Amino acid sequence: MDASTWVATRTPPTRLARVFDSKPFLVFVCLLPAVGLLLVFLTYPLGLGIWLAFTDAEIGRSGHWIGLENFQSLLDDRIFINTVWNTIFYTAAATVAKFALGLWLALLLNQYIPFKSLIRALILLPFIIPTVLSAIAFWWIYDPQFSVLSYVLVDVLHWRSGYIDFLGTPWHARWSLIAANVWRGIPFVAISLLAGLQTISPSLYEAALLDGASPWQRFRFVTSPLLMPILAVVLTFSVLFTFTDFQLVYAITRGGPINSTHLMATLAFQRGIPGAALGEGAAIAVSMIPFLIFATLFSYYALARRKWQQGGHDE
């Protein structure tokens, strides 16, 4: 054959090759492991928990469908009503304290201070330490007889005549748990907000300073609007983590004294596992879902309001 008349021909791709070249197929294959893990470790336990909430299942017995009887009995359960109130109060108080202290700490670390990198690393320690170890440490700090806080207040400073029973009375125990949760949660809030602060251009602060803006005005009109997207995300995660807190509370107080520090998560565990009433425990856990959905929707709509984040008004 003459070389001048030779034309290269391409073998048409096979059906299998066309399938593997398809973008939707590649997306499906790449997502399949993640979807499988979510189905096995998230969707199935959640679905099983919702199913158990509508049955009278107990440990060792599958149970039967009873509809809304578990939820109706919870509405008449004074311990459950008090637990809902405790959970809301615990979440609100701890979240406000964590955000106030975390924002102050982030603003402080955003300035030039000596040993700033070392301080940032030390701040992460409460968040890195396992929760149970932190709980054991706080349990010792709050011990009615060997508390280091009581020792300092009574024997060193002589501000009190007797030791404080941190975990023996309801309100002392509630505030003690809130303090422990705040100690653990401040690093997450502070480091997240510090990352947001460092994305704000210094030229904006220089322009505001030239216009004669006070420190409060610079925070209100520059820092706050530009930090709002980070604030919304961190607020949502902080509320979710605090509302579903289990390890810290259960390790320190077990819900006592007289069920005064139970959160919905700890009460669900107590009724479902030690109490053997899986259906009732699952109903308490399912009752948490509306609160979590509300927090998630709040974050979604806050993030969707772009003009509000920029300091303007939505149309």
| Residue 136 reports pLDDT greater than 60 | yes
Mean pLDDT of 128-139: 89
Q: Which helix (H) or strand (E) holds 183?
A: helix 170-197
> Domains along the chain?
78-309 (1.10.3720.10)
* Cα–Cα distance, 265 to 262 (Å, whole number): 8
Q: Which of 21-30, 93-102, 145-154, 209-218 has the highest mean pLDDT?
A: 93-102
Confidence of residue 243 (pLDDT cuts 50, 70, 90): very high
CA distance 235 to 162: 39
Banded model confidence at residue 233, pLDDT cuts 50, 70, 90 = confident
Residue 214 has pLDDT above 60, yes or no: yes
Is-contact 266 281, C-beta < 8 A? no
- Residue 201, amino acid: S
Mean pLDDT in residue range 255-277: 91
- Tokens at 9, concatenated: 């021909």
Q: What pLDDT is stored for residue 62 in this prediction?
A: 82
**Is residue 240 predicted with pLDDT exceeding 70?**
yes
Say which residue the tokens 């593997």 belong to: 20
Sign of CA dihedral 193, 194, 199, 204: positive
Contact 272, 280 (CB under 8 A): yes
pLDDT at 3 over 80: no
The three state secondary structure string of the chain is CCHHHCCCCCCCCCHHHHHHHCHHHHHHHHHHHHHHHHHHHHHHHHHHHHHHHCECCECCECCCECCCHHHHHHHCCHHHHHHHHHHHHHHHHHHHHHHHHHHHHHHHHCCCCCCHHHHHHHHCHHHHCCHHHHHHHHHHHCCCCCCHHHHHHHHHCCCCCCCCCCCCCHHHHHHHHHHHHHHHHHHHHHHHHHHHHCCCCHHHHHHHHHCCCCHHHHHHHHHHHHHHHHHHHHHHHHHHHHHCCCHHHHHHCCCCCCCCCCCHHHHHHHHHCCCCCHHHHHHHHHCCHHHHHHHHHHHHHHHHCHHHHCCCCCC
Structure tokens at 1: 């054959």
| Per-residue pLDDT at 2 exceeds 70 | no
Q: What is the pLDDT of residues 30-67, one digit of tens each?
A: 888 988 898 888 888 889 999 999 999 998 888 889 98
pLDDT, position 155: 85
Nearest Cα to 245, choosing from 231, 259, 264, 268?
264
